[in-house]
Amino acid sequence: MTEPSKVLHVRNVGYEITENDLLQLVQPFGVVTKSVMLRAKNQALIQMQDVGSAVNGEKCLHSVLFTSRTDYSGSEPSRAQPGFQALIQYQSHQSALSAIDALQGRNIYDGCCQLDIQFSNLSELQVNYNNERSRDFTNPALPSEQKGRSSQSGYGDAGSMYGLQPPGTRAVAFPQVCVDQAFLLAFLFQMGDAAAITAAFSGGLPPGISGTNDRCTVLVSNLNPDKFDEDKLFNLFSLYGNIVRIKLLRSKPDHALIQMGDGFQAELAVHFLKGALLFGKQLEVNFSKYPNITPAPDTHDYSNSNLNRFNRNAAKNYRYCCSPTKMVHLSTLPQEITDDDLVTHLEEHGTIVNTKIFEANGKKQALVLFETEEQAAEALVCKHATSIDGSIIRISFSQLQTI
């Protein structure tokens, strides 16, 4: 078996997946020193700063096939790409039928990874462990592995995890769909499937998020009315979903209604922003009693805004949802940007501790560390979608702790 190394070998990279997408994927695990896209083979090589970072990335990013090489030397890897299957049990027969109707024959990425979906011979799944190979989304209390046995079992022992339960253990037997592709979860994720969205959070949704909420509109209060407007609210809440409309309540200047794209996105916003400090105020974010915001002259409509982040690469955006942090990530920067340019553009919002500019897929990006989370949040809401030397920049919170 090849010893772990600093280089991750990524297979099945669709042509629409950019180098930047891959770098964003591995960013939480450490510093990337080199990356090479092997477009002819739909593969990529990503070299981390150290072996530990590469090992952590390989373990956590199990939805993508990684294999290690000793170091990047410019030679291309093997074309071998093993096939995989997955079993998915839906809550109802109709849901399984809908999945087959919608997804059979579809490609996960354009031109590759075609799905072959059919009903399984099993009528019910028995899942014993919640880990990278199996998960019961109705029972988050399951152990990750059997005592004394590693959860890194081979793909040939599926029967022990997906076996048929004894007759009579449930009143109703639900069908599941068998899918012949390793990227199933990522694809369903982009299709809006709740189970796949759950998988983005390491298989378990954050506490307090059900994944079944159908209320799309949230009420945010205790705003600083002298500092906030609709666009600043958009910049903040669009981190957690697409924004449909925003309305400031004129009778209560420190209140606003925000209609998200769906109930799950609204849940994320409530979870991650409740209690956030901004402009000297601690935000209160709750679900509104109103199901939606009626279009009106005093309502801002963002449904067609090209700044909505979840129209493309929804899976990646869900994956990086988090509460405000001290670190912000900037992208679509001008090629000639310097650290001094970053400081000049952002320093009015707080004390900048450190900055780092790097290049991914031929485009400049940066990390900026502020002294406090409130300062970073202020910089984000005020400077997202602003211009530096003609480039409209994008800002989001980074989960990295240090540069």
pLDDT on residue 371: 97
**286 and 252 share one domain:** yes
Nearest-angstrom CA–CA distance, 289 and 272:
20
pLDDT on residue 138: 73
357 part of a folded domain = yes
Alpha-carbon separation of residue 151 from 61, 128, 157 (angstroms): 15, 11, 12
Helix axes 93-103, 184-191, angle to 10 degrees: 100
**187 and 100 share one domain:** yes
Nearest-angstrom CA–CA distance, 84 and 280:
52
**138 and 236 share one domain:** no
77 part of a folded domain = no
2 part of a folded domain = no
Task: Using DSSP, state whether 8 is helix, strand or coil.
Answer: strand
Q: Per DSSP, what are the bridge partners of residue 220?
A: 256, 285
153 part of a folded domain = no
**255 and 282 share one domain:** yes
342 part of a folded domain = yes
**98 and 190 share one domain:** yes
Task: Using DSSP, state whether 58 is helix, strand or coil.
Answer: helix
Q: Which residues contact 378 (CB under 8 A, 6 or more apart)?
A: 278, 279, 349, 350
Which of 335, 400, 390 has the alpha carbon at shortest distance from 365? 335
pLDDT on residue 15: 63
96 part of a folded domain = yes
208 part of a folded domain = no
Output the tens digit of pLDDT for each of the chain's 403 residues: 567 888 888 887 766 577 777 777 777 677 888 888 887 777 888 888 888 888 877 776 654 444 444 444 444 444 334 545 677 887 667 667 767 766 777 765 555 566 777 777 677 777 888 776 777 767 777 887 765 544 333 323 333 333 333 333 222 233 454 443 334 444 444 444 454 465 455 556 666 777 777 889 999 999 999 999 999 999 999 999 999 999 999 999 999 999 999 888 999 999 999 999 999 999 999 999 998 999 999 999 999 999 999 887 776 788 788 999 999 999 999 999 999 999 999 999 999 999 999 988 788 999 999 999 999 999 999 999 999 999 999 999 998 888 8
**Two tokens at 242?**
């697409």
**333 and 296 share one domain:** no
Nearest-angstrom CA–CA distance, 265 and 268:
5
The number of domains in the chain is 4
**298 and 343 share one domain:** no
pLDDT on residue 126: 79
pLDDT on residue 136: 77
Last residue of a domain, one of 317, 342, 367: 317
Q: Which amino acid is at 228?
A: F
Domain of 390: which CATH number?
Answer: 3.30.70.330
Domain residue limits at 255? 217-317
**192 and 99 share one domain:** yes
Last residue of a domain, one of 69, 95, 119: 69
Q: What is the DSSP string of 71-128?
A: S--S-----------EEEE-SSHHHHHHHHHHHTT-EEETTEEE--EEE-S-SS----
| pTM reported for the whole predicted model | 0.56
pLDDT on residue 183: 40
50: left (phi over 0), alpha (psi -120 to 50) or beta: beta
pLDDT on residue 258: 97
Nearest-angstrom CA–CA distance, 108 and 190:
9
Q: Which residues contact 180 (CB under 8 A, 6 or more apart)?
A: 83, 84, 85, 115, 116, 117
Domain of 190: which CATH number?
Answer: 3.30.70
**342 and 376 share one domain:** yes
**308 and 364 share one domain:** no
**248 and 230 share one domain:** yes
Last residue of a domain, one of 21, 39, 69: 69
**192 and 222 share one domain:** no
292 part of a folded domain = yes
Q: Angle 77-79-80 (CA atoms, 0-180°, nearest 5)?
A: 110
Classify residue 40 by burial, with Cβ atoms within 10 Å: 0-12, 13-18, 19+.
exposed
